[in-house]
């Protein structure tokens, strides 16, 4: 991209030392009232519309057999939850979440050069159970030096409905983004260690029985920004109504997307003709897509 960088243009939100301190201490920040009511209604309306639709996932037949078996479909639906993958392919209503002026400055501050990789929604209904403890990056990929935070992967969670303690809200262990705990995490991160400080077995510590864990509660319109090194999960939903969140996950430009989940690349990557509708800053937040080859359906 030849245009001057728009990522670092005068930010609408100024990240303070107190924000950096808190993010470094906890591994997350919870920002209140980011989305206005009309924005919530607009985005939630799109999610509800899309959740009712069926999707042609015939592209999966073109994947390598080993990837085909584990690739996610566009819509994952059961009695108590609905997940949609690859939101930006489904509706432009989600575009504003790529570079929202209240959020984007934090991504630049905590990551250097953030690149949006994955987008999904999760709606939960009464009876939906615990989502086990996990994290998407190793604590070795998180550091803070002389007031500068660097997290290789940062997830942004948009609360479109209230996330009360019994609404199936997220949960996390504050500070665990620096904690070398093995076997608790679902990803292959512990393979890189000869030994970990603590070996917890996930089933023994379901939900808030894990020492140090807390629920992450908030109102519709709030936004959670967290380092993917943070140990996190989801709690049981025992209330009526539907809890819906969006998840916009980012990687710094030093890491490759394709190495992580090649089977799910179609939900990460967008062809140029779809990115044409983006603003210059949204294009820059997704510029890795111009440099990556992916030939399943385009």
Ligand X SMILES: O=C(O)CCC(=O)C(=O)O
Interface segment toward ligand X; rule CB under 6 A; list 15-23, 26-34, 232-240, 262-270: 232-240
Contact call for residues 180 and 197 (beta carbons, < 8 A):
yes
Compare residues 7 and 103 and give the one whose CB is closer to ligand X.
103
Q: Which is nearer to ligand X, 168 or 221 (CB)?
A: 168
269, 275, 278, 279 alpha-carbon torsion, rounded to 10°: 100
Per the document, the length of the chain is 298
Cβ proximity to ligand X: between 90 and 170 the closer is 170
Name which of 12 and 70 has its Cβ closer to ligand X. 70
Among 100, 232, 260, 266, binds ligand X (CB under 6 A): 232
DSSP 190-254: GGG-S--SEE--GGGG-GGGSTT-EEE-B-TT-EEEEETTS-EEEPPB-SSS-EEEEEEEEEETT
In the shown chain, the binding pattern of residues 10 to 49 toward ligand X, with x for contact by CB under 6 A and - for none, equals ----------------------------------------
How far apart are CB 37 and ligand X at their closest, in Å? Answer: 22
| Residue 75 near ligand X by CB under 6 A | no
Rounded to whole angstroms, the Cα distance separating 246 from 235 reads 16
Quote the strand ranges of the chain, DSSP E: 28-31, 75-77, 81-85, 114-124, 131-134, 142-145, 148-151, 153-159, 170-172, 181-182, 198-199, 214-216, 223-227, 232-234, 243-252
Nearest to 280 by CA among 59, 82, 104: 104
Q: Which is nearer to ligand X, 119 or 179 (CB)?
A: 119
User: Nearer to ligand X by C-beta: 15 or 130?
Assistant: 130
Question: Can residue 229 be called a binding residue for ligand X (CB under 6 A)?
Answer: no
Binding mask 156-175 for ligand X (x = CB under 6 A): ------------x-x-----
* Residue of 142, 158, 226, 247 that binds ligand X (CB under 6 A): 247
Tell me the residue nearest to ligand X as measured from the CB. 234
Q: Which of 122, 189, 223, 230 binds ligand X (CB under 6 A)?
A: 122
Angstrom distance (rounded) from CA 221 to CA 185: 29
> By CB under 6 A, what part of segment 126-145 binds ligand X?
131
What does the alpha-carbon distance between residue 136 and residue 121 come to, in Å, rounded to a whole number? 17
Which positions touch ligand X (CB under 6 A)?
A: 122, 131, 168, 170, 232-234, 245, 247
């Amino acid at each position: 991209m030849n245009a001057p960088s728009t990522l670092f243009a005068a930010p609408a939100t100024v990240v303070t030392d107190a924000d950096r301190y808190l993010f470094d201490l906890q591994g997350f920040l919870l920002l209140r009232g980011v989305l206005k009511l009309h924005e919530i209604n607009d985005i939630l309306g799109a999610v509800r519309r899309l959740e009712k639709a069926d999707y042609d996932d015939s592209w999966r037949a073109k994947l390598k057999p080993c990837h085909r078996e584990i690739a996610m479909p566009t819509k994952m639906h059961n009695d108590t939850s609905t997940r949609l993958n690859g939101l930006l392919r489904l509706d432009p209503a989600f575009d504003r979440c790529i570079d929202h002026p209240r959020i984007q400055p934090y991504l630049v501050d905590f990551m250097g050069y953030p690149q949006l990789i994955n987008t999904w929604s999760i709606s939960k209904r009464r009876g939906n159970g615990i989502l086990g403890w996990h994290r998407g990056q190793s604590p070795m990929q998180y550091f803070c030096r002389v007031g500068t935070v660097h997290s290789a992967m940062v997830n942004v969670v948009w609360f479109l409905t209230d996330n009360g303690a019994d609404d199936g809200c997220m949960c996390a262990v504050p500070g665990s983004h620096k904690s070398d705990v093995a076997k608790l995490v679902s990803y292959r991160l512990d393979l890189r260690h000869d030994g970990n400080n603590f070996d917890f077995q996930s089933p023994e510590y379901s939900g808030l029985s894990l020492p140090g864990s807390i629920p992450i509660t908030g109102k519709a319109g709030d936004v959670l920004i967290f380092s993917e090194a943070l140990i996190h999960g989801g709690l049981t939903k025992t209330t009526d109504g539907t809890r819906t969140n969006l998840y916009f996950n980012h990687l710094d430009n030093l890491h490759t997307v394709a190495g992580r989940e090649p089977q799910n690349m179609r939900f990460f990557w967008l062809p140029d003709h779809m990115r044409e509708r983006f603003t210059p800053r949204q294009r820059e937040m997704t510029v890795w897509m111009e440099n990556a080859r992916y030939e399943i359906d385009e």
